[in-house]
Chains A and B, each alone.
Chain A
Amino acid sequence: MLSRVADSLFWMSRYIERVDGILRMLKINYASSQDNTSEFGWKPVLNTFSFLEAPKVDKIEMDSWSVLQFMVVDKDNPNSVVNMVTRSRENARSVQDHITKEVWQCLNEFYHLVRDERLSWSLKNEDPITTLDALIRQAMLYYGTTEVTMSRGEGMCFMSIGRYLERAIQATDILKVKFKDISTDAEKMNDPSYWKYFLMSISGYELYLKNYRSGFEAKNILDQVIFNISFPRSVHYSVYQAQRYFDRLKNERNRDSFDKVNFMIGKLRSNIKFSNVESIIQEGIPSYLDKIHFELFSVGNALNQHYFAYS
Chain B
Amino acid sequence: MNSFSIFEGYPISPNTWDEMYAEGNVRSPYQGIYEFLQAIPLEELNRKEELAKRLFMSQGITFTVYSSGEGIEKIFPFDIIPRIVTAAEWNSIETGIKQRLKALNLFLRDIYHDQFIIKDGVVPADLIYSCPHYIREMQGVNVPYDIYVHIAGIDLIRDNDGTFYILEDNLRTPSGVSYMIENREITKRIFPDLIPQNNVRPVTQYPNILHKNLAALSPRKISNPTVVLLTPGMYNSAYFEHTTLARLMGVELVEGRDLLVDNHCVFMKTTNGLQQVDVIYRRVDDDYLDPLVFNPASELGVSGILSAYRKGNVAIVNAIGNGVADDKAIYVYVPEMIRYYLNEEPLLKNVPTFQLKNKDESKHVLSNIHKMVVKKTNGSGGYGMLMGHAATDEEIADYTKEILKDPRQFIAQPVISLSSAPCYINGKMQPRRLDLRPFALCGPSGIEIVPGGLTRVALKKGSLVVNSSQGGGSKDTWVLSV
> Taking the nearest CB of chain B, how far is it from the CB of A248, in angstroms?
12
A3 with B269: CB separation less than 8 A: yes
> Taking the nearest CB of chain B, how far is it from the CB of A84, in angstroms?
15
Hey, which chain B residues are within 8 Å of A197, CB to CB? none
Interface bits B270-297 vs A (CB < 8 Å: 1, else 0): 1111000000000000000000000000
B273 with A2: CB separation less than 8 A: no
Q: A97-B253, A104-B60, A154-B271 given as contacts; is B243 within 8 A of A2 (CB)?
A: no
A93 with B243: CB separation less than 8 A: yes
Interface bits A98-118 vs B (CB < 8 Å: 1, else 0): 000100110011001000000
CA distance A160 to B253 in the complex (A): 22
Hey, which chain B residues are within 8 Å of A6, CB to CB? 271
CA distance A214 to B256 in the complex (A): 61
Hey, which chain A residues are within 8 Å of B258, CB to CB? 2-4, 310
Partner of A97, one of B233, B246, B268: B246
* B247 interfacial contact with A, CB 8 Å: yes
Which of B246, B269, B271 has the largest number of chain A CB atoms within 10 A?
B271
CA distance A311 to B243 in the complex (A): 22
* B57 interfacial contact with A, CB 8 Å: yes
B60 with A108: CB separation less than 8 A: yes
Hey, which chain A residues are within 8 Å of B247, CB to CB? 96-97, 101
A251 with B272: CB separation less than 8 A: yes
Closest Cβ neighbor of A99 among chain B residues: B247
- 8 smallest CB-CB distances across A and B, nearest first, come from A96-B243, A97-B246, A97-B247, A108-B60, A253-B272, A310-B269, A254-B272, A97-B253
CA distance A308 to B60 in the complex (A): 26
> Taking the nearest CB of chain B, how far is it from the CB of A8, in angstroms?
10
B273 with A108: CB separation less than 8 A: no
CA distance A247 to B250 in the complex (A): 26
Q: List 20 A-B contacts (CB under 8 A).
A: A2-B252, A2-B258, A2-B271, A3-B258, A3-B269, A75-B70, A94-B233, A94-B234, A96-B253, A97-B243, A97-B250, A97-B253, A101-B59, A104-B60, A105-B58, A105-B60, A112-B57, A112-B58, A112-B73, A253-B273
Hey, which chain B residues are within 8 Å of A310, CB to CB? 257-258, 269
* B305 interfacial contact with A, CB 8 Å: no
Interface size class of A (residues with CB under 8 A): 20 to 34
CA distance A3 to B267 in the complex (A): 12
A307 with B60: CB separation less than 8 A: no
> Taking the nearest CB of chain B, how far is it from the CB of A92, in angstroms?
9
Interface bits B380-404 vs A (CB < 8 Å: 1, else 0): 0000000000000000000000000
CA distance A157 to B358 in the complex (A): 65
CA distance A286 to B60 in the complex (A): 45
Hey, which chain B residues are within 8 Å of A158, CB to CB? 271
In chain A, positions 127-186 with a C-beta closer than 8 Å to chain B are 154, 158
* B255 interfacial contact with A, CB 8 Å: yes
* A90 interfacial contact with B, CB 8 Å: yes
Hey, which chain A residues are within 8 Å of B255, CB to CB? 4
Hey, which chain A residues are within 8 Å of B244, CB to CB? 96
> Taking the nearest CB of chain A, how far is it from the CB of B127, in angstroms?
41
Given A93-B243, A112-B58, 11 more A-B residue pairs with CB atoms under 8 Å apart are A2-B252, A2-B270, A3-B271, A6-B271, A90-B234, A93-B239, A96-B253, A108-B58, A158-B271, A253-B272, A254-B273
Q: A2-B269, A105-B58, A112-B57 given as contacts; is B257 within 8 A of A97 (CB)?
A: no
Which of B70, B253, B257 has the largest number of chain A CB atoms within 10 A?
B253
Hey, which chain A residues are within 8 Å of B233, CB to CB? 94
* B436 interfacial contact with A, CB 8 Å: no
* B372 interfacial contact with A, CB 8 Å: no
Interface bits B341-370 vs A (CB < 8 Å: 1, else 0): 000000000000000000000000000000
Hey, which chain B residues are within 8 Å of A1, CB to CB? 270-272
Hey, which chain A residues are within 8 Å of B251, CB to CB? 97
Hey, which chain A residues are within 8 Å of B272, CB to CB? 1, 251, 253-254
> Taking the nearest CB of chain B, how far is it from the CB of A149, in angstroms?
13
In chain B, positions 214-246 with a C-beta closer than 8 Å to chain A are 233-234, 239, 243-244, 246
> Taking the nearest CB of chain A, how far is it from the CB of B49, in angstroms?
19
* B254 interfacial contact with A, CB 8 Å: yes
> Taking the nearest CB of chain A, how far is it from the CB of B338, in angstroms?
39
Interface bits A232-256 vs B (CB < 8 Å: 1, else 0): 0000000000000000010101100
Hey, which chain A residues are within 8 Å of B58, CB to CB? 105, 108-109, 112
Closest Cβ neighbor of B243 among chain A residues: A96
A311 with B257: CB separation less than 8 A: yes
CA distance A235 to B258 in the complex (A): 35
Hey, which chain B residues are within 8 Å of A254, CB to CB? 271-273
Hey, which chain B residues are within 8 Å of A101, CB to CB? 59, 247
Closest Cβ neighbor of A107 among chain B residues: B60
> Taking the nearest CB of chain A, how far is it from the CB of B65, in angstroms?
14
CA distance A307 to B273 in the complex (A): 9
A97 with B252: CB separation less than 8 A: yes
Which of B243, B250, B255, B272 has the largest number of chain A CB atoms within 10 A?
B272
Interface bits B68-89 vs A (CB < 8 Å: 1, else 0): 0010010000000000000000
Interface bits A59-89 vs B (CB < 8 Å: 1, else 0): 0000000000000000100000000000000
Hey, which chain B residues are within 8 Å of A112, CB to CB? 57-58, 73
B271 with A249: CB separation less than 8 A: yes
Closest Cβ neighbor of A90 among chain B residues: B234
Closest Cβ neighbor of A93 among chain B residues: B234
Closest Cβ neighbor of A104 among chain B residues: B60
CA distance A104 to B247 in the complex (A): 12
Closest Cβ neighbor of B62 among chain A residues: A108
CA distance A248 to B247 in the complex (A): 24
CA distance A184 to B250 in the complex (A): 57
